[in-house]
Structure 1
Amino acid sequence: MNFDVQEVLSLLETMHFEEGVPILRQLPKPFTSAAFLFHPFVRMPDGWEEQKRKRPFEHIYPSDEEIITMGRPVSWNTVMTICGLRSEKETALALMTAVMALRDEYAQPESAELLNRLYPADLYLPSDDVTSPFLIPGLLDVFRSKGIERCIYYEPVEEKGIFSLNQTAPLDVCGLLQADMIIADEKRRAAFLSMYDSFTTLFLMEDQDMPSVVRAMNWEAVICSDTTCINWFSQ
């Protein structure tokens, strides 16, 4: 590995965000802007689950390949309307409560109960631990638009390596992803971090024009202000 790669790996190994401290104040240089990208809900074709299920009450969730090839993203805004959830914060708390990711004093069981209005349609909760397959193509496009050719991936326990953007399909990147994995370009112009039990991906950029990028990619997101912390949903 060359010097740039070792330097980026060193940066990724030490990247950590404390609760209660604004994200922007914790960003390592040269990153200056950040946004929490919402993982879309997943709509599969009518009857998909019935065809896949082998037993009456078997829990089925589409694979990354099925999501990319057959699935359709459903926005948080649409789900909020269907379920009667009042805000993105309430939706995040409902999702995290549903997967038991919150301590009892922070859980919102009444909000989580509203998610049951999504069933029995072929509509699935977003991926909670890793970046949504729906977001990966757009993230790679943003990387390419910055002239990025190679990306470094790092997972705290055992995974790290390099891949070429020109030789890697979105599904290949999905296959790499693990909870708490960070992917960054070798020049540190952009990076994204999947976070355990969060239903969001933290996206970082060197420049500050995050709102324009989010709009251009049609992402739903919380763009970090000077006061936004890692637990934005409870602020």
Structure 2
Amino acid sequence: MAKDMTLLWGSGSPPCWRIMIALEEKNLQGYNQKLLSFEKGEHKSKEVMDINPRGQLPAFKCGDKIINESCGACFFLESKYKSQGTKLIPDCDAEQALMFQRVFEVNTFGDKMANVIYYNWKVPEGERHESAIKRNKEALTAEVKLWEGYLQKTSSGFLAGKNFSLADVIVFPAIAYLYRHGLSEERYPKLTEYYKNLMNRPSIKATWPPTWKETPGQDILKDI
């Protein structure tokens, strides 16, 4: 089944990583994959553009079907292979509602994170302002506190109910990205507990970004 799938991906990219976690959870190992370099601009290559005309990673095909949006790809895999591997959408209405809520909050989470981490990359030097940097950091701090609060309300160790779900598949890579960039473990104990527990889950260990194993992280979020 997995042999008719192709994933072009970049190391450390949360959108790429969540598809890889979903594939592992659904026992879909053995798919065609190729690691590309953002630094070398390989995400703008013809190989990628043929699948994803936005020139972004991931670029994902399942047979003749293209699903490049990572959340959509994860839902597609769960729908198509629902009887295989880990069940990623809860049956319980309350847990399912919470799962959908957390999944679709990840875009806001990601935007606020990117506004801090990539500010200097996105904003030309002459247009940068300390007030904007401060405002972005305050917005991200409030967002991280929100997720810390979510985890304080659950005793299962997962984001949406008693079991690992698509909420964890989709949100965990973003949380890991925070720690990769220096988020304080002491300041957010529940988030840290969640991160450390899930980083040892087989699907996550198997897909851990190779560049993260080889290079140290950054401290840009140490004050968040």
Q: TM-score by structure 2 length?
A: 0.27
More strand by share: 1
More helix by share: 2
